[in-house]
């Protein structure tokens, strides 16, 4: 489910009791849905042999907020009360549950009726009941289920700047050539771990978009960002930046998995960082991006050990295939000490950032770059 922020947030408790430890009760996971925070106690998850059976994780009882939440739109009808919501059809099965048990349990405990479109069909999930609080309770439980299983989906898209201007690509190829000439004897350093220059990019945030409707919502949110603050920060012009200097992700330069180039404004200002942080904040507030960080780490990956066995690997996010199957990536780190010493301030080139793209993972366009599902331009 994708929605823009609600009105006033309300605090709720969603309790699922299975003899949790004291620490799990005192410090449970927090879930933010439509601007409201919920405490989620541990859920006992069952694992089934076949993927199609992994649809019923709704165990035990879930107690809704101890006061009604006015952020939901609940319509009074001659028969009682009614609330509707939209969700990607891919997530319907998690509301239905194995043999329909999840839906039946919610209906029984909230004294409501829940109508869900057939798999593969778009439409509204409709909740009806005699009591307003029961409808709100059912809606809250469905929202938590949708949020929980959305978090289990592999990332499908990401917001990014493309860094594929000729000067930077040529600088990258020069960097690769010089590193291989001077450091190829260092452990783990070879041509297979270098990024494809056509895919150089700056990631702002990762997205799970499960329908065309959600892609459209992302485009609309990006356009809102442009109108509300991007135009002011950019001045309606491309941001002139430099790609220079290298750094590594982990804390041991002798065992590096990801080496990246740094990107900064030519004029020394903080405008690029301010812009991406505000985009991230807005998308996190809307629920389109799960909140993990408060700030974007501006970096352009130039070497990654995942590329060694899979040239199409996509960094630390590549835990799933395009079909959603979990995969384990064994990595052979490389010794980056000489590279960091010799190329600490390597200059890749300058470029103008004029567009933020909604890029699709595992898909490339005719130029070899990530396929773009939408974009905004600064000028």
Tokens matching residue 75: 């319509």
Across the strands, what pairs with 359?
158, 372
CATH 3.40.50.300 fits 157-377, yes or no: no
Asked if residues 194 and 176 have their Cβ atoms less than 8 Å apart, the reply is yes
* pLDDT tens readout for residues 160-198: 999 989 999 999 999 999 999 999 999 999 999 999 999
pLDDT at 216 exceeding the cut of 80: yes
157-377: same fold as 75-151?
Answer: no
φ, ψ for residue 214 (rounded to 5)? -70, -35
User: Residue ranges per domain, the chain?
Assistant: 75-151, 157-377
The H-or-E segment that residue 223 falls in is helix 212-225
β-pairing, 75-77 with 36-40? unpaired
Q: What percent of the chain has pLDDT over 70?
A: 77
Where residue 10 falls among pLDDT bands split at 50, 70, 90?
Answer: very low
pLDDT band at 15; cut points 50, 70, 90: very low
Phi, psi of 18 (to 5 degrees): -140, 40
Note the pLDDT tens digit of each residue in 29-85: 555 555 555 555 554 444 333 334 344 455 543 444 334 456 788 999 999 999 999
Q: What is the pLDDT of residue 66?
A: 36
pTM: 0.74
pLDDT at 19: 42
CATH superfamily placement of domain 75-151: K Homology domain, type 1 (3.30.1370.10)
């Amino acid at each position: 489910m994708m929605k823009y922020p609600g009105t006033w947030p309300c605090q709720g408790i969603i309790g699922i009791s299975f003899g949790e430890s004291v620490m799990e009760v005192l410090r449970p996971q927090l879930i933010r849905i439509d601007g409201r925070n919920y405490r989620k106690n541990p859920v006992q998850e069952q694992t089934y042999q076949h993927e199609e059976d992994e649809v019923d994780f709704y165990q035990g009882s879930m107690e809704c907020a101890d006061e009604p939440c006015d952020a939901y739109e609940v319509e009074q009808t001659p028969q009682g009360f009614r609330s509707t919501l939209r969700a990607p059809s891919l997530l319907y099965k998690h509301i239905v549950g194995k043999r329909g048990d999840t839906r039946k349990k919610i209906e029984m405990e909230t004294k409501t009726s829940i109508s869900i479109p057939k798999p593969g069909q778009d439409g509204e999930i409709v909740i009806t009941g005699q009591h307003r609080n029961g409808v709100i309770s059912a809606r809250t439980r469905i929202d938590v289920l949708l949020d929980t299983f959305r978090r289990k989906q592999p990332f499908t898209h990401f917001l990014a700047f493309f860094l594929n201007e000729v000067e930077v690509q040529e600088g990258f190829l020069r960097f690769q050539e010089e590193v291989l000439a001077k450091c190829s004897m260092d452990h783990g350093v070879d041509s297979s771990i270098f990024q494809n220059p056509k895919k150089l990019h700056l990631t702002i945030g990762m997205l799970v978009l499960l329908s065309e409707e959600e892609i459209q919502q992302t485009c609309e949110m990006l356009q809102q960002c442009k109108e509300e603050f991007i135009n002011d920060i950019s001045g309606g012009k491309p941001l002139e930046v430099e790609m220079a200097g290298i750094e590594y992700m982990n804390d041991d330069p002798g065992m590096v998995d990801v080496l990246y180039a740094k990107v900064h404004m030519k004029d020394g200002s903080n405008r690029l960082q301010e812009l991406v942080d505000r985009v991230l904040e807005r998308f996190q507030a809307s629920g389109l991006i799960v909140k993990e960080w408060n700030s974007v780490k501006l970096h352009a990956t130039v070497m990654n050990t995942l590329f060694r066995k899979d040239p199409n690997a996509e960094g630390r996010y590549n835990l799933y295939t395009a079909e959603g199957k979990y995969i384990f990536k064994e990595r052979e780190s490389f010794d980056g000490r000489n590279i960091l010493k010799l190329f600490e301030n390597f200059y890749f080139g300058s470029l103008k950032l004029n567009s933020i793209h909604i890029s699709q993972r595992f898909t490339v366009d005719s130029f070899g770059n990530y396929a773009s599902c939408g974009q905004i331009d600064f000028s």
